[in-house]
Amino acid sequence: MHAIKTFSTAARTENTRPMSCPSCGSSRRGEIWRAEGFAFVRCRGCGLLRQDPQPVPEAVAARYDEAYLAYETGNHFRFRDLEFEAFRDAGIVLRPGSSFLDVGCATGALIARLRERGIETRGVEFCAETSRYARDVFGLDVFTGRLEDAPLADSRYDLVHAAHLIEHLNDPRSFLSRARRLIKPGGELVLTTPNEASFQGRLMKGHWRSAIRDHLYLFSPKTLKMLLDSEGFSVVRIATWGGWPAGMKPAFLKTSLDVAVKPVGLGDVMIVRSRVKVDPCHEHR
């Protein structure tokens, strides 16, 4: 079999630091997934996979430049259509007039289409080149930087969405805390991220296509639900897809495995819908 990885920025010398688990705080290390020049370790406390050590935030920020923009512009319409398919699988219905915040919106292809459908949209994108593209090409309202630094009003959005973002963050808990404050009562947070408990993840481990240097964490439905729960979210629905990557040998497995993994939740990628809990302990975190 060939280990086919997703896009990753080029390796470079970076400052790193040891990491404890952001979900349960434990520093105890279990199973190790060894990859290409780095490793993921499984937390003995809760089971979350994390890179340890991890690049410092400044090093992570330096990774996203023109090369990332080129990758996104070469694939953004395909990625947009895949995310719409995921919305259908997760039962997400967006109505005209609803408010939608896309965090890690890249070129803005997704929210540009939603705007055409009468959805009120805004984006947040860390990469300066990519956010500029979203503003200049699609005419979108996109803030450049982290969600935590964006000048956004609390309780403003019906749906906050982040596709293939949370696994890249040094501090996913801070991101979730901020996202929670932005969501209207009854609104939702929707996350799309690789599923390390997938058939492929379990089979390939450090050679899995999502075990890349840019992914600082690899979540399973269990570990992501645990983190969401601790930040005041209640998971509504999880859907997964993808059983065998395109181009991976033997190619004849793709059709049957893609079908087989979906109903049992063993797909390579998962979309997770969650709602803000009605819990006074989280009201002003």
φ and ψ of 258, to 5 deg: -60, -40
Map out the domains of the chain as residue ranges: 63-282
CA separation for the pair 98, 94 (Å, rounded)? 7
Summarize pLDDT for 171-229 with one digit per residue, the tens: 999 999 999 999 999 999 999 999 999 999 999 999 999 999 999 999 999 999 999 99
Per-residue confidence (pLDDT) for residue 9, from 0 to 100: 86
- CATH code of the domain made up of 63-282: 3.40.50.150
CA separation for the pair 188, 172 (Å, rounded)? 17
CA separation for the pair 145, 62 (Å, rounded)? 12
Question: Would you say residue 3 has pLDDT above 50?
Answer: no
Summarize pLDDT for 264-285 with one digit per residue, the tens: 999 999 999 999 998 645 444 4
Beta-strand relationship, 49-51 and 217-218: antiparallel
Average of per-residue pLDDT values in the chain: 93
Summarize pLDDT for 35-71 with one digit per residue, the tens: 888 999 999 999 999 999 999 999 999 999 899 999 9
pTM value > 0.75: yes
